Structure 1
Amino acid sequence: MIHALKAMGDYIQTQRDESFLTQIVENPNSNGKYKTVLVILFEKNGDQISYQKIAMEEFSQKKLTKYVYVSGSPRGGDLTPTSKITKLETTYPRIQKPLKKLVDKIVKKDNLTKEETIIAQIYKLFQDEDLNKQIYQELAEISYDDNAILTIALIENGQTNYVGDFNKFTESLLGKYEKAFYFKKSYNKSERNSISKNNTCYICSKKQKKIYGYVGTFSFYTLDKPGFTTGGFNRGEAWKNYPVCSNCARTLDLGRKYLEKNLSSRFCGINYFIIPKTVLSADKEREEMFELLKSLEEKKKLSLQKDNQNSLSRAQDDLFQIMTEFNNYVNFNLMFYEEINSAFRILLYVEHVLPSYMQKIFAVKSEVDKDNIFQKLKSKEGEFALTFTFNTISDFFYINQRNKQNFTKSFLEITNNIFTGKRVSYELLINRFIAHLRDKFVNNQSYWLDNLKALQILKFLDKLDLLNQDREEKNFMPTVDSEYKKDIVNFLEEHNDVLNNNSKKLVFLEGVLAQKLLNIQSNERDGANPFRARLNGLKLNEKLVRRLYTEIINKLEEYDKNYYKQLEQLIADYILESNLSTISNSEISFYFVTGMNQANKFNFKNSEEE
Structure 2
Amino acid sequence: MQDRSITDIGKLEFERNSNLKPYELFTQEPYPNKVCKMLLIEFQKKGERIHFKGIDVQNVNEKNYSKYAYRKGSARGGDITFTTKFGDLDKKLNTLVNTQFPNLIELSETEDADNATFFKGWQHSFIDNYDQIKSELQNTYDNQEKQDKLNSAFTLTIDVDGQRRLLSDFKIVQRLISKNGIEGNYNKYGVVSKAENKICSICHQQKPEVYGFGSPFKYSTVDKTGTVSGFFNQKNNWINYPICETCAIEMELGKNYITKYLTKYFFGKSYFLIPKAVMPNDTESLDNALGLFNEIDYQIKNSESITSNEDFLMEKIGQTNNNLFTLNLLFFEENPTTKAIKIKMMLEEIPPSRFRKLFIEIPKIINNNPLFKDLDYHYKKKQKQDLKFSFRLFKQFFEDSFYEITYKIFMGRKISEKELHERFMKVIRANYIKRANNEGFVEKGDLLIAKCFLLQNYLAELNLIKYEN
1:68 and 2:69 matched: yes
* Between structures 1 and 2, the one with greater strand share: 2
Which deviates further from its counterpart, 456-465 or 96-105?
A: 96-105
- 1:202 CA drift (Å): 1.6
Structure 1 residue aligned with 2:241? 242
Q: How many pairs align?
A: 442
Structure 2 residue aligned with 1:320, among 298, 314, 319?
314
Structure 2 residue aligned with 1:40? 43
The answer to whether the Cα contact below 8 Å between 1:37 and 1:59 also exists between their aligned partners in 2 is no
CA RMSD of aligned residues (A): 4.4
Summarize the Cα distance change of 1:96–1:306 in structure 2 as closer, same or farther, 3 Å threshold.
same
- 1:366 CA drift (Å): 2.8
Summarize the Cα distance change of 1:462–1:274 in structure 2 as closer, same or farther, 3 Å threshold.
same
Correspondence 1:314-353 to 2 at 5 A: 314-315=308-309, 319-326=313-320, 327-340=322-335, 342-353=339-350
Summarize the Cα distance change of 1:234–1:292 in structure 2 as closer, same or farther, 3 Å threshold.
same
1:163 and 2:163 matched: no
Structure 2 residue aligned with 1:571? none
Amino acid in the other structure paired with 1:64: Y
- 1:454 CA drift (Å): 0.8
Structure 1 residue aligned with 2:455? 457
The answer to whether the Cα contact below 8 Å between 2:37 and 2:153 also exists between their aligned partners in 1 is yes
Amino acid in the other structure paired with 2:10: G
The answer to whether the Cα contact below 8 Å between 1:29 and 1:35 also exists between their aligned partners in 2 is no
- 1:320 CA drift (Å): 1.3
The answer to whether the Cα contact below 8 Å between 1:83 and 1:94 also exists between their aligned partners in 2 is no
Amino acid in the other structure paired with 1:162: L
Amino acid in the other structure paired with 1:216: S
Correspondence 1:490-569 to 2 at 5 A: none
The answer to whether the Cα contact below 8 Å between 1:304 and 1:316 also exists between their aligned partners in 2 is no
Structure 1 residue aligned with 2:195? 196
Structure 1 residue aligned with 2:439? none
Deviation by residue 1:542-588 (Cα, 9 ceiling, x = unmatched): xxxxxxxxxxxxxxxxxxxxxxxxxxxxxxxxxxxxxxxx8xxxxxx
- 1:213 CA drift (Å): 1.6
- 1:2 CA drift (Å): 0.5
Distance in 2, Cα, partners of 1:193 & 1:15: 32
Amino acid in the other structure paired with 2:429: R
Distance in 2, Cα, partners of 1:5 & 1:315: 24
Unaligned runs of 5+ in 1: 399-405, 471-581, 583-610
Correspondence 1:174-323 to 2 at 5 A: 174-185=178-189, 192-220=191-219, 229=229, 231-280=230-279, 282-283=280-281, 285-306=282-303, 314-315=308-309, 319-323=313-317
Structure 2 residue aligned with 1:366? 364
- 1:266 CA drift (Å): 1.9
Distance in 2, Cα, partners of 1:389 & 1:235: 47
Deviation by residue 1:213-237 (Cα, 9 ceiling, x = unmatched): 23332355776796963x3444432
1:376 and 2:377 matched: no
Amino acid in the other structure paired with 1:294: G
- 1:424 CA drift (Å): 3.2
1:27 and 2:30 matched: yes
Distance in 2, Cα, partners of 1:222 & 1:91: 24
Unaligned runs of 5+ in 2: 437-441
- 1:157 CA drift (Å): 8.0
Deviation by residue 1:481-516 (Cα, 9 ceiling, x = unmatched): xxxxxxxxxxxxxxxxxxxxxxxxxxxxxxxxxxxx
Summarize the Cα distance change of 1:287–1:30 in structure 2 as closer, same or farther, 3 Å threshold.
closer
TM-score in terms of structure 1 length: 0.60
Amino acid in the other structure paired with 1:59: N
- 1:242 CA drift (Å): 1.6
Which deviates further from its counterpart, 450-459 or 79-88?
A: 79-88
2:466 counterpart SS class:
coil
Summarize the Cα distance change of 1:317–1:303 in structure 2 as closer, same or farther, 3 Å threshold.
farther
The answer to whether the Cα contact below 8 Å between 2:372 and 2:387 also exists between their aligned partners in 1 is yes
2:357 counterpart SS class:
helix
Distance in 2, Cα, partners of 1:387 & 1:67: 49
Summarize the Cα distance change of 1:88–1:184 in structure 2 as closer, same or farther, 3 Å threshold.
closer
Deviation by residue 1:147-183 (Cα, 9 ceiling, x = unmatched): 7876443566886431122243344344445444334
Distance in 2, Cα, partners of 1:270 & 1:245: 33
TM-score in terms of structure 2 length: 0.76
Structure 1 residue aligned with 2:106? 105
1:288 counterpart SS class:
helix
1:153 and 2:160 matched: no
- 1:79 CA drift (Å): 5.0
- 1:111 CA drift (Å): 8.3
Amino acid in the other structure paired with 1:348: M
Amino acid in the other structure paired with 1:319: L
Amino acid in the other structure paired with 2:237: A
Summarize the Cα distance change of 1:101–1:416 in structure 2 as closer, same or farther, 3 Å threshold.
same
Summarize the Cα distance change of 1:20–1:469 in structure 2 as closer, same or farther, 3 Å threshold.
farther
The answer to whether the Cα contact below 8 Å between 2:197 and 2:207 also exists between their aligned partners in 1 is yes
Distance in 1, Cα, partners of 2:88 & 2:214: 38
